[in-house]
Structure 1
Amino acid sequence: MTSSKKPSNSSAKNENLYAIAETSGQQFWFEVDKYYDIDRLNAKEKDKITIDKILLIKDKDNISLGQPYVKNAKIELEVVSHKRDKKIIVYKMRPKKKTRRKMGHRQELTRVMVKSISITNSTPKTSSKTEVKKKSTSPKASNPEN
C-alpha cells in the first residue's frame, strides 16, 4: 500500500478523522485527501466509488466501532489512475534434476483519492400502532315461528 499526503491547507477538523475499511480482501486505514493503491477496480478514471464496509471511524474524541461493520457509514473515493505494480520474480528449482522455472508477476492496481468519510445518524422509524376495532356482532334477527 502506498499513501502520500496531498500538499494543501487541510482544516483542523480533518486532522483527527480516519476510518478503517475493508476492500479488495484487505483492510486499509483511510484518511481524507490521501491516495491509496488498491487491487484493480472495474471503473474509469474520475469515477466516484463508495465503500460501505467500514470497520471503525474515529472523529476527534468519538470512536464508532462496527460489529462487524459500522451502520450508515461510507467513504467516497475518486479513481485517479490505473497502473501496474513493480515486477516480482518467482524462481523455482529442483536440485539435481536440471529443472528450473523463472516467472514474473505484475499486480494490476487502481490509485484512488479519498474525498470524504461520513457517518449519518438515521432515526429509527417509529411505527404508530393503529387500533384494530373488533367487529361488533349484532344479534341475529330471529325468525318468528307461527
Structure 2
Amino acid sequence: MYAIVDIAGKQFKVTQDQFVYAPLMEGEEGASVEFSNVLLVGDDKGAEVGAPTLKGAKVTGKILGHVKGDKVIVFKKKRRKGYKKRNGHRQDFTKVLIEGISK
C-alpha cells in the first residue's frame, strides 16, 4: 500500500517502513507524528483519490532526527566588473520513518 501525503507544503509518495526527508518540523527524536493531509491511497487493486484530501485517511510516522542537506554553492559574478560573490547554504530536514497508512 502507498499514499501521497502533503507534508509542510510538499508532496511525498510514501510506503510503510520508508524513510522520508521532510522539511524541518517541530518535535523531538522518537516522537510520533501524524499526517492527515492524504491526497491519494493506492494498492494493487487500484487507487482512491481525494478531493482534495481523503476523509479519515492518515499516515503515521516517527521522527528519527533532524539533519542538514548537502551544501549548495551560490556563486554570483558580473563579467569584466571584478565582482564575485560566493555563498553557501544547507537546508534543514527532519528524517521521518513511515510506520503506517490507514484509510
TM-score, normalising length from structure 2? 0.95
2:21 to 23, 34, 37: 37
Q: Which amino acid aligns with 1:48?
A: S
Give me the CA root mean square deviation.
0.9
Runs of at least 4 residues of structure 1 off by over 3 A? none
Over residues 6-47 of structure 1, what are the superposed CA-to-partner deviations in whole Å (9 max), with x where a residue is unaligned? xxxxxxxxxxx0001111221100100111111111110001
Q: Which has the higher contact order (CA 8 A, sep 6+)?
A: 2
Identity of aligned residues (%): 29
Which has the higher Rg, Structure 1 or Structure 2? 1
Cα displacement (A) at 1:86: 1.0
Alpha-carbon distance in 1 for matches of 2:43, 2:78: 54
Q: Between Structure 1 and Structure 2, which shows a larger proportion of strand residues?
A: 2
Alpha-carbon distance in 2 for matches of 1:81, 1:25: 20
Gaps of 5+ in 1: 1-16, 120-146
Q: How many residues align?
A: 103
Alpha-carbon distance in 1 for matches of 2:46, 2:83: 59
Alignment of 1:1-146 (within 5 A): 17-119=1-103
Q: Which amino acid aligns with 1:86?
A: D
Cα displacement (A) at 1:64: 1.1
